[in-house]
Amino acid sequence: MPEAPGDSLPKVLVIEDDEASRKLLSDLLRKEGYSPILTSDGEEALAWLETHVPDLVFCDLALPRVGGLEVVRRLRHREATRLVPVIVLTGHAELQNKLDALDAGADDFLTKPFNVLEVAARARSLLRNRRLTQALEDAQNVVFALATAIEHKDDYTEGHGERVAVYARSLAEFAGLSPADVQAVHTGGILHDVGKIGCPDAILNKPGPLTPEEFEIIKRHPTDGWEICRHLRSMPHLSLCCIRNHHEKLDGSGYPDGQADGAIPVAVRIMSISDVFDALATARAYKPAFPTDTCFRILREESERGWWDGDLVEKFIAMMRERELDVPVNRAKLEPILPQRAPNGPSPQQVLDVLHKAQRKQ
């Protein structure tokens, strides 16, 4: 089994079946102030990784039971370790070995015999990037906490982002988008209104029509949300597009960028349809909830007007009926995505303050 690391030092997992190389790396890492975890076996390393997350991994290509390339691939497919930096080790300098390692998800490549100065420099560089990545991951957690706080600001908007995320993800799957794009749409759905933190409650909850000045304030929320989320390295670009552009229309009359038809990605079109449906189907301060068939009719009318993608509207309606989400009671049973905010939990402004501090760590 791997050796147990110290509690506070950066943990470096060394997966190396050659005893001399393993000892060399262990001694070097300890000298640099890191805590090495040593194993000579790919399967044993994967078992350890089920319950631990290192800060850096050195992984030999030629390992017993589970080879190095497979170890790297599995690291990249696990949520907890997908951003952990990996240096691949090999005694063979062929270009194809290096290409295979990089394709598997390795961040760097070292050929034996090692130059100890180079190993130390590569480790320092990747661990420095790891610390920055962790700061950005902390910021992403704060963004989702902010989304939770916004969801619970009032009875009318509670659950809106979560429902939009479910509808958008379901439509993306129904329309045949790639798994990565489906996940990006889902994330964008949860966070699409996060910029409303900058909108006064009196405007968000106004029971009557907005004045032109109030509407201009509301129109800032897509860019405000994009500004909050764009600092997160792990935030997919497509999610950022969904956050910024979910109020665009195919005829170019939307906001904030006035994008039209070909400039609007399919993912954003999906987000817009899902967002509009939920706004129509739920009660707001200024309107009652509309029946599902009325919502579908309005979506079709607005697609004929040139606002929404007509083909995606029809797919949306078919998907909702197939999954029985056209029945309001079924929509009400959707499982929450975001954690429930405790009664004494932080206010949206307090969460935003934490986000700003996290961003300054970059």
- CATH number of the domain residue 63 falls in: 3.40.50.2300
Looking at the domain assignment, is residue 19 inside a domain?
A: yes
Tell me the average pLDDT across 89-108: 77
- pLDDT over 80 (residue 235): yes
Same domain, 229 and 98: no
All residues at 6 or more sequence positions from 85 whose CB lies less than 8 Å from its CB, including other chains: 56, 57, 107, 108, 126, 127, 129, 130
- pLDDT over 50 (residue 358): no
Looking at the domain assignment, is residue 130 inside a domain?
A: no
Same domain, 98 and 171: no
Per-residue pLDDT, 346: 47
Same domain, 89 and 174: no
pLDDT-based confidence at 272, cuts 50/70/90?
very high
pLDDT tens figures, 52-66: 888 888 888 878 888
pLDDT tens figures, 277-323: 999 999 887 889 999 999 999 999 999 999 999 999 999 999 999 99
- pLDDT over 60 (residue 86): yes
Residues of the chain above pLDDT 90, percent: 36
pLDDT-based confidence at 337, cuts 50/70/90?
low
Stretch among 6-10, 14-18, 200-204, 210-214 having the lowest mean pLDDT:
6-10
Q: What's the whole-model pTM score?
A: 0.62
Q: Residue 75: which domain range?
A: 11-114
Tell me the average pLDDT across 162-185: 95
Per-residue pLDDT, 121: 85
Same domain, 89 and 235: no
Question: Measured between alpha carbons, how far is 12 from 54 in angstroms, rounded to an integer?
Answer: 6
Specify the number of domains making up the chain. Answer: 2
Same domain, 158 and 250: yes
Looking at every residue in the chain, the average pLDDT score rounds to: 83
Same domain, 92 and 182: no
